[in-house]
Homo-oligomer: A and B are copies of this chain.
């Protein structure tokens, strides 16, 4: 059985969970408090981060390398377009969310509001929270700009770019930090992706000490 070591509110774990579910690859989820740097876990991934995927006798780390592996080894349904240009655009947007959005928004909002408490590293830093709240607006505007020209973020087909974005946004939505009314086109996009069967497992996530808000799992939010 495939096994994914993950954390429910890790956007990088969620990106892999969405890809596997969309490709109908069964996987057992094992919650990993990776910041405790358990020796067994560090043996599985010397980088000390989730997600880590065990598939057969292979143990794999790094969400981007894992998603590319899933694409190479389980090409149906494809999560990257066919041509080099389309693939570039999807990967550029994946990197945008994994790097820029994560650093500017997720790390600042989720990092301060949830992870500080969970990891026991003190009170939220309000400067970071304010910076994250400002930055999320700019990113939602950028998404609206893309979605005004295309059905999905990287083109007219759903790709890994949509999963990378939804992985970050769904974590923030769990703590009610996304203003879905800012752009109708972004809300419609999230409603479409949220209603996919691949999303169900994310909507069932529960984090002790942080009860799920009512709108989080509601498809008609």
Contacts and interface: CB of A to CB of B under 8 A. Distances in A.
Interface string A89-108: 00110111001100000000
Interface in A158-188: none
A60 B60 CA distance: 29
A91 to B, nearest CB: 4
A66 B64 CA distance: 14
B96 A68 contact: no
Nearest to A93: B65
Contact of A88 (B65, B84, B94, B95): B65
A47 interface: yes
A142 interface: yes
B68 A87 contact: yes
A36 interface: no
Interface in A106-148: 142
Contact of A62 (B66, B69, B73, B92): B92
B100 A88 contact: no
What does DSSP make chain A's interface, helix, strand, loop or mixed?
Answer: helix
Contact of A65 (B46, B72, B95): B95
Contacts of A68: 87-88, 91
A91 B63 CA distance: 10
Interface string A45-59: 011000000000010
A40 interface: no
Given A46-B142, A58-B85, A142-B46, A91 B73 contact: no
Given A47-B100, A142-B46, A84 B72 contact: yes
A203 interface: no
B60 A88 contact: yes
Contacts of A66: 88
Contact of A61 (B69, B92, B142): B92
A164 to B, nearest CB: 12
Interface of A: 46-47, 58, 60-62, 64-66, 68-69, 72-73, 84-85, 87-88, 91-92, 94-96, 99-100, 142
